[in-house]
Copies of this chain bind each other. A is one copy, B any other.
Amino acid sequence: MRRSSVAIQRRNTRQRTLVLEAVRNRRDHPTAEDIYLDVRAHDDRVSRATVYRNLRFLEGEHAITCVKAPGGDRFDLRLDDHAHVVCTECGAVVDATVPYDRDADDAVATGTGYAITTHRTIFEGICPACQQKLANTAN
């Protein structure tokens, strides 16, 4: 017996692999443009559109996650849910040191009637480097 709904078939193209590899090889939180440049370093014929399409695709597959930061989305290999810290001065993004609070999802689901799938926490502050820079410029 066949499935009534058409199975979406995804193909492992060279470009798709390059995009995933690029995300995988970075510990920071690259923008789409960063990924594009990394991919281009391996194959300079890949288009930006393909990078964007694959980034969205991989996000849909839950292979990667995106962090909405000012100045554009940042991508991240999805190993587990975790929070991020973004520097309000330079835009640098690092992982936060607090655990993901799964119970909060249930609390909000109960409180709002929404079917909660996840939550994202973004801390805002100034990174050590920018604190330095600001201290030197002070007054």
- On A, residues with C-beta under 8 Å from B are 4-5, 68-70, 83, 85, 87-88, 94, 96-98, 104-105, 107-128, 131, 139
Contact = CB atoms under 8 A, between A and B. Distances in A.
B119 A121 contact: yes
A90 B127 CA distance: 35
Contacts of A111: 96-98
Identical subunits present: 2
26 contacts: A68-B70, A83-B119, A85-B108, A85-B112, A85-B114, A85-B116, A94-B114, A96-B108, A97-B107, A97-B108, A97-B110, A97-B111, A98-B107, A104-B121, A108-B123, A109-B125, A113-B128, A114-B128, A115-B125, A116-B123, A117-B124, A117-B126, A119-B121, A119-B123, A120-B121, A120-B122
Given A94-B114, A109-B125, A119-B122, 13 more contacts: A5-B139, A68-B70, A83-B119, A85-B108, A88-B117, A98-B104, A98-B111, A108-B123, A114-B125, A115-B126, A115-B131, A120-B124, A122-B122
Q: Which 3 A-B pairs have the closest CB atoms?
A: A97-B111, A116-B125, A114-B125
Nearest to A134: B115
Given A85-B108, A104-B98, A108-B97, A117 B125 contact: yes
